[in-house]
Each structure stands twice: as structure tokens, then as C-alpha cells.
Amino acid sequence: MDKIYLNNLQFYGFHGLLPEENKLGQRFHVDATLFLDLSKAGSSDNMYQSIHYGQAYAYIKEVVEGEAKNLIEAVAESIANKLLTSFDLLEACTIKVIKPDPPIAGHYHSVAVEIHREKTTK
């Protein structure tokens, strides 16, 4: 399966369980891998045979900078749902939401969740 990568997208959001996270906000990074057939886009050089990266970025930004959620798991799920329902050509996506500065004691680089979701046919 062909892939489009959107790497290390950076946003500011208000997700978290603690009241100060919802009030002060914090940085979030997102990696998104979009799975689709890119052969038609590659041979036709036609944007409509692919996914517009700028639009994908805008959808991810809308979720991360939008309604506050308690868990980054819920943020990742919302991003996946938004992308899968917005792009007809998208077959699946892997979403990684990274919280570089969670309010936990200790030394670490970040915490993150990663999910993989596929379009279902009903």
C-alpha cells in the first residue's frame, strides 16, 4: 500500500485530565501516515488522484486545536475519524499523537499514543 506521511505537525491544544492542562494548554505533535493507492496520481500528475496535504493538515489542526479531550487516545481517534470520513481515496491511516510536556514527574522525552484505523465498508 502506498503512503503519504505528514511528520511532526505541531499544535497547541487544551487536552488532558488535569484542570491546568485544560486552562493553560500545551504543545502537541502529530505524525500521520495516510494509506491509499497513489499509482493514478503518479501516472496522471493529477492532484485529484491523491490527497491534498494542506487539507489533511487543516483537518488535523481542527481536531487538535479544537474541543478539549481528556485523553490523547481520544484526540488520535478523532483525527483518524475526521480523515477517513473526509477523503474518499483514503483507505487507512496511522495517527501518532505526542505530548512532549505531560505533567508527570521524571525525565523523559515525551509520551505518545499511536493508532491504526481502516475504512470500513457497510
Tally of domains in the chain: 1
For position 122, what pLDDT does the model report? 59
Q: What is the mean pLDDT, run by run of 10 residues, along the chain of 122 residues?
A: 97 93 94 98 96 98 97 98 98 97 86 96 65
For position 7, what pLDDT does the model report? 98
Of 61, 99, 119, 122, the catalytic one is 99
For position 72, what pLDDT does the model report? 97
Cβ neighbours for 70, distance < 8 A, ≥ 6 positions apart: 15, 16, 17
In a domain, 39, yes or no: yes
Contact between 99 and 113 under an 8 Å Cβ cutoff? The reply is no
Contact between 8 and 78 under an 8 Å Cβ cutoff? The reply is no
In a domain, 119, yes or no: no
In a domain, 95, yes or no: yes
In a domain, 13, yes or no: yes
Domain CATH number, residue 56: 3.30.1130.10
Can you give the residue range of the structural domain that contains 80?
A: 2-111
Give the global pTM.
0.94
Contact between 17 and 70 under an 8 Å Cβ cutoff? The reply is yes
In a domain, 7, yes or no: yes
Q: Is 82 a catalytic residue?
A: no
In a domain, 21, yes or no: yes
